[in-house]
Amino acid sequence: MWKLSIADDQGQRTNVTLVRDQYTIGRAEGNSVRLTERNVSRQHALVERTKRGIRIRDLDSDNGIFVNGVRLSSEPHDLEHGDLVQIGDYRIDVIDEDRSTQEQAHRPLAGSVSPPSTRLSDRLVVLIGPNQGHEYPLEMDRHLIGRGEECDIPLDHASVSRVHAEVRRIDAEHFEIIDKGSANGLRINSREMPRAVLDGRDVIEIGDVVLKYIPKGQVFRASPAEGARIAALAGASSLPPGEKASIGLGRTLFAAGLGALVAALLAAYLITAPSRARGVERARATAGLAANVVAALDEAVALKEKGDLSGAHRKIQGLGRKPQITKLPDVIAIETAWAKAQLEEARKRPSLAERRALFDEVARTETVPTALRREASDLSQKTAEKGISLEELEQEQGRTEAESDAKSP
């Protein structure tokens, strides 16, 4: 029998035994499992029983579903015993009670040597970056992370600040990570967060270095989807379908499954150095976006590269005004290039009315960087101060009316 063990942000836990074929999860009344926090969509997820086990599907939610730190697409995803699902502020442990019972039955007898995994401490594992594969045990109450010599967890990478972050022990089982005013910020499971309580399998991005938090006693096993995500962050190819990756015990961290991944990542790290930073930044920036938004953004970038700034600008305008989109580096680059082209075109126009119309268009476009909007507004005002002849105003009004008539049915 499968079970979902759901914990809220206060640590209160509720167990749901899956006896029916389908369960809906969301904020609205009428869901089989109702999660009331605002970062949960009204209809967020669907959990279904299958012949193989259970699977989960995102119902086009705003904030998505994360399984073991990886955001799911709209396709159904098969869950496994021990998976960690994140929906908003809720953490959901997936439990196959038959597997759980078997694991308990194989506990060692009193006086026998414990399996190595039970002796593993809480730790951070380097997935991408210097000393890839190294494990840093969290055995003290405070651990500084950064490039400086005073740091307990040294990450010698240009994207990492001298003292980038700090890990603090809250109690016997929990740690908190805090950004120490770093230049490139702290991201937990692809979200920018100044501080967070670490949970099992959290993925931590320190600049361009990627770490994973592994609770004591656990051996990290990356799913194929997670392996592909790690490879994408490093600029490497994804893993072959069905390939599993594992981190072994003690200092021999990666078992044979992850060996191929390590080799691929190491090769990518050495060979793709010039483009790696751009690839990592792009993967980080778009990690939380819907697939259709990323596809539209890719089309806009392609149009810009072809020189069609107007087409690229129209694509961007169709993506909406959410800060998560408007602050993307690709969006800023496209809108900056379009605005500069508009300002240049305006300066070439002999008609003051046409100039001012172009200046005003740039000044009104919210996705254009503030400095360029201010420049456009100033130019519009200066153009107005020069004066626009009555003839030009009549011509402009005539063009506007003609365009309006042409669009009318």
pLDDT by 10-residue block (mean), the chain, 409 residues: 85 87 93 90 94 92 82 88 86 83 49 44 87 87 93 92 92 86 88 83 88 79 52 44 36 44 51 46 54 80 90 88 79 92 90 87 88 86 64 51 55
Q: What is the pLDDT of residue 257?
A: 46
CA distance 156 to 164: 11
Q: How far is CA 269 from CA 6, 97, 265, 279, in A?
A: 38, 41, 6, 12
Burial of 15 (0-12, 13-18, 19+ CB in 10 A): exposed
CA distance 237 to 220: 21
- 248 close to 219: Cβ distance less than 8 angstroms: yes
- 3 close to 17: Cβ distance less than 8 angstroms: yes
Q: What is the pLDDT of residue 86?
A: 86
Q: What is the pLDDT of residue 114?
A: 39
Q: What is the pLDDT of residue 382?
A: 82
Q: What is the pLDDT of residue 71?
A: 78
CB burial string 47-58: b at 16+ within 10 A, e below = beeeeeebebbb
Put residue 45 in one of left, alpha, beta given phi > 0 → left and psi -120 to 50 → alpha: beta
Q: Which pair of structure tokens corresponds to residue 204?
A: 């931590």
Closest of 73, 77, 36 to residue 55, by C-alpha: 77
Q: What is the pLDDT of residue 98?
A: 79
- 41 close to 61: Cβ distance less than 8 angstroms: yes
- 224 close to 213: Cβ distance less than 8 angstroms: no
Closest of 85, 64, 69 to residue 324, by C-alpha: 64
Q: What is the pLDDT of residue 328?
A: 82
Phi and psi, residue 333, nearest 5°: -65, -45
CA distance 358 to 352: 10
Q: How far is CA 106 from CA 36, 102, 245, in A?
A: 39, 7, 24
Domains and CATH numbers, the chain: 2-99 (2.60.200.20), 123-234 (2.60.200.20), 291-403 (no CATH)
Q: What is the pLDDT of residue 241?
A: 36
- 366 close to 326: Cβ distance less than 8 angstroms: yes
- 54 close to 80: Cβ distance less than 8 angstroms: no
Q: What is the pLDDT of residue 172?
A: 80
